[in-house]
Amino acid sequence: VLAIWHQLTKAEIPELAKCSVLMRDRSRVEDTIYAMQRAGAGRLQVISDFDMTLTRFAHNGKRVPTTHNILDHRLLIDEDCSKKIRELLNTYYPIEIDAGRTAEDKLPLMVEWWTQVHELLIQQRIRKDLLAQAVKESSAMLREGYKVFFDRLTEQQVPLLIFSAGVGDVLEEVIRQNNVFHPNVHIISNYMDFDQTGVLRAFQGQLIHTFNKREGALSHASGLRVLQGRPNVLLLGDSLGDLTMADGVSEHQNILTIGFLNDQMDERKELYVKSFDVVLVKDETMEVPNAILKYIT
Ligand code: C5P
Ligand code: MG
């Protein structure tokens, strides 16, 4: 019987047969998708990372900015600060994606990176009312097919939890300007704290970085009412740290994890295939998640 189902999903989701799609265990993926389809949209939630997952990694050979990098705009920060932030990126990003180091090893270094950048941003007294313009003038870009993704989840009333170690205020502005900040979208991220005059004075709450999403999942996501009674999870991420974003889902039944492998492909391929159910290699589109969603809902 199972063999028939496998052919069924293969015929229904030909996108999974593309050579950029890697799977450790194809039949498990197909069984999970099939179980999710039987349970239906009413039992599903989608949990997604933001930077380099919902946004593109590169476009026309140029890196697309993360929410932090969007803040590197002459309206918001001076040249000296911009230089320091870039130096920090050059120091810490290679560590973040280093396949030779464990998450445990990277964790304190990520805290260092985020803390230093947030302090620099606070010193710049960034104005809330200029964020929208900075986003507008940035080269921020969601993945091809993003509209189908967001719109379908809204139509099917499936909650989308965006769980980001980026900057929440910037993230919201990016999805607002792309007309997909729908009511089913919920966000957990690092939000700015502005004083009464609208000047940045701190960041709110516990810092979220790439490798502590589990804590955020347990303290924030698990309390979200709209996610309750939805034991099936489609999880999207680009970092191994993103795999813990569903740790707050109690009584989960089926979890399908999709990982975008954007950078250091050769070094990280094995690790990604071992860790995510589906790995998308150098794929700048939402084609595969969209095809799976179309089948499930
Ligand atoms: O949304 P997501 O959780 O992916 O956001 C975090 C990403 O932002 C990290 O993967 C990191 O590479 C990037 N980052 C950055 N500048 C910082 C801190 C993080 O570009 N100062
Ligand atoms: Mg990311």
Tell me how far the alpha carbon of residue 239 lies from the centroid of ligand 2, in angstroms. Answer: 6
Examine the residue annotation and report whether 51 is marked as an active-site residue of this protein.
yes
Closest atom, ligand 1, to C-alpha of 166: 5
Q: In the structure, what pLDDT confidence band is assigned to residue 1 with cuts at 50, 70 and 90?
A: low
Whether the pLDDT of residue 9 is over 80: the answer is no
Examine the residue annotation and report whether 49 is marked as an active-site residue of this protein.
yes
Q: Tokens 């929208």 identify what position?
A: 132
The stretch 105-122 carries a mean pLDDT of: 98
Rounded to whole angstroms, the Cα distance separating 64 from 290 reads: 22
Helix (H, G, I), strand (E, B) or coil at 279: strand
Ligand nearest to the backbone CA of 244: 1
Tens-place pLDDT, residues 224-234: 999 999 999 99
pTM value is: 0.97
| Ligand 1 proximal residues by C-beta, below 6 Å | 49-52, 66, 68-69, 89, 93, 96, 113-114, 117, 164-166, 210, 239
Taking CA atoms, 53 is separated from 74, 205, 213, 282, in Å, by 26, 24, 15, 11
Amino acid 125: pLDDT: 97
Residues 6+ apart with CB under 8 A from 112: 92
Tell me how far the alpha carbon of residue 209 lies from the centroid of ligand 1, in angstroms. Answer: 7
β-strand pairing of 185-190 with 160-167: parallel
Nearest CA, atom 18, ligand 1: 114
Rounded to whole angstroms, the Cα distance separating 40 from 263 reads: 34
Closest atom, ligand 1, to C-alpha of 238: 4
Amino acid 7: pLDDT: 67
Which DSSP string do the residues of 174-208 spell out, in sequence order?
HHHHTT---TTEEEEEE-EEE-TTSBEEEE-SS--
Whether the pLDDT of residue 43 is over 90: the answer is yes
The stretch 281-285 carries a mean pLDDT of: 98
* Nearest residue to 131 (alpha-carbon basis) of 85, 169, 93: 169
Q: In the structure, what pLDDT confidence band is assigned to residue 222 with cuts at 50, 70 and 90?
A: confident
Closest atom, ligand 1, to C-alpha of 118: 21
Q: Tokens 């680009």 identify what position?
A: 238
Please identify which of the residues 25, 51, 193, 242 carries the catalytic annotation.
51
Contact of 49 with 239, CB cutoff 8 Å: yes
Amino acid 251: pLDDT: 87
Percent of the chain with pLDDT over 70: 97
Tell me how far the alpha carbon of residue 262 lies from the centroid of ligand 2, in angstroms. Answer: 10
Helix (H, G, I), strand (E, B) or coil at 88: helix
Rounded to whole angstroms, the Cα distance separating 153 from 289 reads: 11
Whether the pLDDT of residue 8 is over 70: the answer is no
Query: Which of the listed residues 95, 117, 161, 210 should we mutate to test ligand 1's pocket, taking the one with most ligand atoms within 8 A of CB?
Result: 210
Nearest CA, atom 17, ligand 1: 68
Tell me how far the alpha carbon of residue 49 lies from the centroid of ligand 2, in angstroms. Answer: 5
Tell me how far the alpha carbon of residue 52 lies from the centroid of ligand 2, in angstroms. Answer: 5
Closest atom, ligand 1, to C-alpha of 65: 20
10 C-beta neighbours (distance < 10 Å), count: 13
Q: In the structure, what pLDDT confidence band is assigned to residue 2 with cuts at 50, 70 and 90?
A: low
Burial of 56 (0-12, 13-18, 19+ CB in 10 A): buried
ipTM of the complex: 0.99
Nearest CA, atom 9, ligand 1: 210
